[in-house]
Amino acid sequence: MGWVARVREELENTCSDGIAAPVNDEPHRGISRRLMLGLGGATLAAAALSAKQVKKAAALQLADWTGTMDWVMNSPWRQKRVLILGFHGVASLDEDRQCPILFMSSERFARHLQLLRELRCGVLGLQDALDRLQRGTLPERSVVLTFDDGYRTFDHVVPQLQKYGFPATVYLTTEYMDYDLPVFNLLCPYLFWKTSLDQVTLDGFVGLPQKTALAIRTPLEREAAANFVKDFSKRLSVQDRDRNARRLAELLRVDYEKIFDQKIFHCMSRSQVKTLAAAGIDFQMHTHEHWLPTNDAGLRKPSVPTAAVSSALPAASPSTWRIRAASPTRRFFAC
């Protein structure tokens, strides 16, 4: 089995990005695309695959199964490519069971790093990889480790990276940086997953004028209920969304304080970013609200994200950042 196949097998269904997920427009299934793009032509953008790229990916997979990949992966051709792995967060409680597409256990993550070592991958920092790519001096099996969103639990990741001496890049969202609060859109479905109730009547929420009864017996009903709450809360401030989260936890009889104390779904604070940056972690921009405007004019406007990240990382210059996003739509970022 080729080394890429081994990485894929290990990460399958557990990697935050869902490495074996079918190729489609969903953003957080990007690792398979990044994996293939990394093989097919070093790129940092997880753009939606064209039909040609899908065909190329299928051909690469076939080559992997037939053993051709072993030869290819050790060839001069492969040495001109960078494999970029995309992770999200390491779980602090049980959020990897509720949302395995974004979170994985610390043990699982440790096994991933061990595998990269066993496979003698040359794990590089992002800028180093780009420089070497340009100069044509990439080491064998070059890999870059990236972590989307910037979760607070990255603190658990750092010692593991240090153990292997692996550099890493965090793609940071900045909206929650100044709030010691869980990200509402992630917490909401978690609360519905956690409850043992079969139904709930929503009452006393910001942005919901009337009482609303919801059946929450099945996973589909719970998903619909979470989407309903997210929808009427989406235009609220971070603080009001958190008021709704606390009220929802109370009604669903889930312990909000435990979630808060464990820092589940929390993003990095400014001071954590500064500490990690000083320790050598690379930070890149991943938008402010996990969202980009859908048109060119919106994209060209001076944006809150730039200001927010700029003030969070005084040593960096906006011109050095890369926005890694698969598609400039809100749907893309709804996770």
**Residues of the shown chain interacting with Zn ion in the complex, contacts defined by CB under 5 A:** 148-149
Residue 143 or 183 having the CB closest to Zn ion: 183
In contact, 148 and 88? CB cutoff 8 Å: yes
Phi, psi of 143 (to 5 degrees): -135, 145
Residue 26 or 148 having the CB closest to Zn ion: 148
CB of 88 to Zn ion, least distance (A): 7
CB of 86 to Zn ion, least distance (A): 9
CB of 277 to Zn ion, least distance (A): 19
Pairing of strands 199-202, 212-215: antiparallel
CB of 72 to Zn ion, least distance (A): 30
Residue 64 or 149 having the CB closest to Zn ion: 149
CB of 324 to Zn ion, least distance (A): 9
The one-character DSSP state at 79 is G
CB of 168 to Zn ion, least distance (A): 15
Q: Which residues contact 7 (CB under 8 A, 6 or more apart)?
A: 19, 35, 83, 85, 115, 116, 119
Interaxial angle between packed helices 3-11 and 30-40, expressed in degrees from 0 to 180 and rounded to the nearest 10: 170
The one-character DSSP state at 269 is P
Residue 30 or 38 having the CB closest to Zn ion: 30
CB of 286 to Zn ion, least distance (A): 6
- Burial code (b: 16+ CB inside 10 Å, e: under 16) for 216-247 equals beeeeebeebbeebbebbeebeeeebbbbbeb
Distance (Å, whole) CA 137 – CA 145 = 19
Closest to 168 in 3D by CA, of 283, 270, 272: 283
Residue 81 or 286 having the CB closest to Zn ion: 286
Residue 7 or 102 having the CB closest to Zn ion: 102
Distance (Å, whole) CA 172 – CA 52 = 31
Residue at shortest CB range from Zn ion: 148
Residue 37 or 200 having the CB closest to Zn ion: 37
In contact, 90 and 161? CB cutoff 8 Å: no
CB of 140 to Zn ion, least distance (A): 30
Residue 9 or 25 having the CB closest to Zn ion: 25
Q: Which residues contact 229 (CB under 8 A, 6 or more apart)?
A: 188, 202, 205, 244, 248
Alpha carbon 263 to its chain's center: 17
